[in-house]
A and B are shown apart, each in its own frame.
Chain A
Amino acid sequence: MSNTLSTASRPTQPGMTSCSRTQTPSQARTGKLFLTLPLGQRLPLRFVVDKRNLIVNLSLMGLLLLLTGGSLAIGSAATLSASATFEALLGQGSALDNFVVRELRLPRVVAGIVTGSAFALAGCLMQTVARNRLATPGIVGLDNGATAFAVASVIGTGISLAPPAMALTGAAVAAALTFGLTGSIGVRGYRFLVAGIGVGAVFGAITQLMLTRVSIDAANAAYPWTVGSLNARPAHAVSILSLALLPALLAAIRLTRSLTVMRLSDAVATSLGVSTSRCRLMALSVAVILTGLAVAVAGPVGMVALIGPEFARQISARNTVPVVGATLAGAIVMLAADLLGRVILAPIEVPVGIITALTGSPLLLWILLNPHTRTTP
C-alpha cells in the first residue's frame, strides 16, 4: 500500500516535532483509553474506549441493578426487605415471598429490561441513521404496524402463539412501506419521518377499526397490545426477544464505528471506505427486528425509544453514538416507568405505556421547541 507519509523513518523537523512530541496532538486530552490486549504482536487487539462512556455505562448498569432489586422488592402484594427479596429470588424465602418474587415479579422485570433495551437500541440506531432525533420506530410507524398485526392475530386466532411473528411482520411491513414511499432514509430524513407518521396513522386506524368490529371479550384480550403493558406478558415472546437482543446489541456495536463516521456526511463516509447504504440497511433491519419483537411482548411503548437514547446522549461523550448507553437507559426507563405505574395508584395498575407517554411527551415537545437542541443525533 502507498506509504507516502511514513513518519517513522523520516528525519523530523525541529520545532514542529518537539511540539508534537510534548503535546502528542492526536491523543492529547482525547478522553479515550487506548487499550492493547496482551495477545502478542501478531494479532494486535487494540481497542479505543471512551472514558466518559465507560463511566456512564458502568453507572447506568449500577442504576439498572438497583432498579431491578427495587422492582423485585416493591409491589402491592408485599414490599420486602432487600435480604428477604434476595432470599426469595434464590427460592429460600417463605412460600409466599418465593411466589411473589419469582413467579410474579421476576418475569415482569425481565420483560421490562429486554423490551426497554430493545426499544431504546432500535431508537438509537434509527435516529442515527436518519440523522434526526425524532426518527424513532414509534414515530415512524413501526410500533403501530407491529401492533396492528399483533392485534389481528389475537382477534383472529384467539391464541397468543402468533403475536411475535405477526408483530415482526407488521414492523417490517410498516418499515418497507415508509422506505418505499421515500426511497431512502438518511439523505431525505425529513421525508422519511413524515411518510412514517402517515404510515403509522393508517396502521393505528386499522387497529382501532379491528377492535370496534369484534366482541368485547376479544377486544379486551387485545387491549394490552394497544397501550403497552408489562402485566402477565407471554413468556415465549419474552424468550424470543431475549435471544434476539444479544446478537442485535453486538451487531449495533459493530456498526458503531461506521455510524460515527457517517455523522460527518455521506460523501466523506464513502470516501473513508464506509458502505453507507449497507450500513443503513443493517441498522434499519436491526431496529425493525427489535421493535417488532418488543411490541410482541409489551405493546407499543415507543416513547422509550425516544427517552432512552436521549437520556444516554445527554450524559455520554459528545460525538459518539451511545449504543450501549441507550440500551441500558432504555431498560432503566422501562423499569422505572413500570414501577411507578404499579405504585402510583396502587392497587390499581397504570400501564407502562401510559407512564412513558406522559413522561415522553414533554421531552418530545422540548426537542421540538428548544432552539438550542440539535436535531441531528
Chain B
Amino acid sequence: MTQEAFVSAPVDDDSAPDIATQGLSLAYGNVSVIEGLELRLPAGQVTAIVGPNGCGKSTLLSGLSRLLKPCAGAVLLDGADIQRVPSRQLAKRLALLPQHPHAPEALTVAELVRFGRHPHQSWLCQWSSDDKACVDEALAMTGLTTLAERPVDALSGGQRQRAWIALAIAQQTSTLLLDEPTSALDLGHQVEVYELIRSLTAAGKTIVMVIHDLVGACRYADHLIAMHQGQILAEGPPGETVTADLVRRLYGVDCTLMTDPATGAPLLTNVRRTRDALDGSAT
C-alpha cells in the first residue's frame, strides 16, 4: 500500500461540499423507514453511520445517493436539492459504493476502474488524457497497479473491495458514500480498507460510510451517527458520543467502555446481552 503517497496531495480547490438533509422521509412502497430526518454531514471528514440491523442506515445512504427518491423533504448538496441536479453533474460530485457490488465475469480491474470516468466522458469525447491519469492514479492509490489486468472476480476480498473503491476514486468526486465497505473482510483486509479511507479524507474527500463494526467506526471515523428505528439517537465525535448507555439502546447489549491506550478511541469490552433485552424491551 502506498498511503503516504497522497497525503500531500492538493486539497480540493473549492471547499468540500456540504451535505445535509431537510425533513427527509424515505420509504419502500408504503413502509416508512425514515421520517423527517434532519442531518448534517461534516465536510472533509469520515462519518460513520452505525446502528442495529434494519435501523435504516443503508436506506439513508440510498436516499443520500439518489437511489431512493424521498417521499418528503430533500437531500441538499451545497444547498441544492440533489433531485434537481442533473444526474451526470451529481455523479461528478457524489459517488456511491453499494454493498456487495458484483462485477461482470472476466472484467479486469483496469476496465472496472475506467468505468469511474463515465460521468466525465461524453459520446463525442469517450477518453481523454485526464481519464488516463485519473485511472492510473486511482490504481496506484489503491495499490492495484500491478493487478490492473487481473479479472476482478479472481481477486481476494480485500483487493476486490479496493478495486471498487478505486472506481469511486477515478470518479473524482469530493464525496464518497460507502455501504458497509468492510463487511465480509478479514481483519487485515478491514484495516487495509479503513486506512485507504483515512488517506482519502487526508486528500480532502468527505467520506460517509455505513458500518456494522462499532469499534472500527470509533477508531477510524471523525464523526459518528447512531441510528435506531429511522431516528438519530446520538451524533458527534466517537469519543464523546459512544457511551455504555448508547450501546445498550442501540444493540440491547451491556458493555464496559474503555479508552484505547494506543489511539484514544473508545473501546468496547465485556460485551454481554442486557437482561432487559431478553424480555424484549431493550429500549
Contact = CB atoms under 8 A, between A and B. Distances in A.
B92 A2 contact: yes
A29 interface: yes
B174 A30 contact: no
Contact of B136 (A25, A48, A270, A271): A25
Interface string A232-269: 00000000000000000000001001000101111110
Contacts of B205: 4
Interface string A11-48: 10100110110011111111000100000000111111
Interface string B150-165: 0000000000000000
Interface in B168-202: 168-169, 171-174
Contacts of A3: 12-13, 172
Contact of A319 (B107, B139, B149): B107
Interface in B79-106: 87-98, 101-106
Interface residues of A, number: 50
Contacts of A23: 145, 148
Given A4-B174, A5-B9, A271 B110 contact: no
Contacts of A348: none
Contacts of B95: 271
B92 A273 contact: yes
B172 A4 contact: yes
Given A25-B139, A270-B65, A318 B126 contact: no
A94 interface: no
A271 B145 contact: no
A10 interface: yes
Contacts of B5: 13, 16
Main secondary structure of the interface of A (DSSP, over half): loop
Contacts of A24: 132, 136
Nearest to A26: B135
Nearest to A39: B124
A40 to B, nearest CB: 13
Contact of B145 (A6, A11, A19): A19
Nearest to A20: B136
Given A20-B139, A48-B127, A270 B145 contact: no
B146 interface: yes
B212 interface: no
Nearest to A258: B118
Given A3-B13, A26-B110, A46-B126, A374 B118 contact: no
B213 interface: no
B18 interface: no
Contacts of B126: 46-48, 257
A314 interface: no
Given A4-B203, A4-B204, A26-B136, A10 B9 contact: yes
A275 B87 contact: yes
A269 to B, nearest CB: 9
B65 A7 contact: no
A272 B167 CA distance: 10
B169 A5 contact: yes
A28 B66 CA distance: 34
Contacts of A30: 110-111
Contacts of A374: 105
A26 B114 contact: yes
B28 interface: no
Contacts of A17: 140
A300 B130 CA distance: 48
Contacts of B148: 23, 25-26, 28
A25 B137 CA distance: 10
Contact of A26 (B92, B97, B104, B139): B139
Given A19-B146, A261-B118, A273-B118, A4 B12 contact: yes
B125 interface: yes
A79 interface: no
A376 interface: yes
A274 interface: yes
Given A5-B134, A23-B148, A264-B104, A273 B172 contact: no
B113 interface: yes
A267 B119 CA distance: 14
Contacts of B127: 34, 46-48
Contacts of A46: 124-128
A266 B139 CA distance: 24
A5 B137 CA distance: 8
Contacts of B102: 264-265
A104 B130 CA distance: 56
B261 interface: no
B172 A2 contact: yes
B53 interface: no
Contact of A271 (B65, B89, B104, B140): B65
B140 A20 contact: yes
Nearest to A255: B123
Nearest to A16: B140
A26 B90 contact: no
A28 B87 CA distance: 30
B11 interface: yes
A95 interface: no
A45 B125 CA distance: 5
14 contacts: A4-B12, A5-B203, A20-B139, A45-B124, A46-B128, A264-B112, A268-B98, A268-B101, A271-B67, A271-B97, A271-B168, A272-B91, A273-B88, A319-B107
Given A23-B148, A257-B121, 6 more contacts: A4-B10, A4-B174, A25-B149, A264-B102, A273-B87, A273-B92
Interface of B: 2, 5-6, 8-14, 17, 62, 65-67, 87-98, 101-107, 110-116, 118-119, 121, 123-128, 130-141, 145-146, 148-149, 167-169, 171-174, 203-205
Q: Which 7 A-B pairs have the closest CB atoms?
A: A273-B91, A25-B148, A26-B135, A273-B119, A267-B98, A271-B96, A273-B88
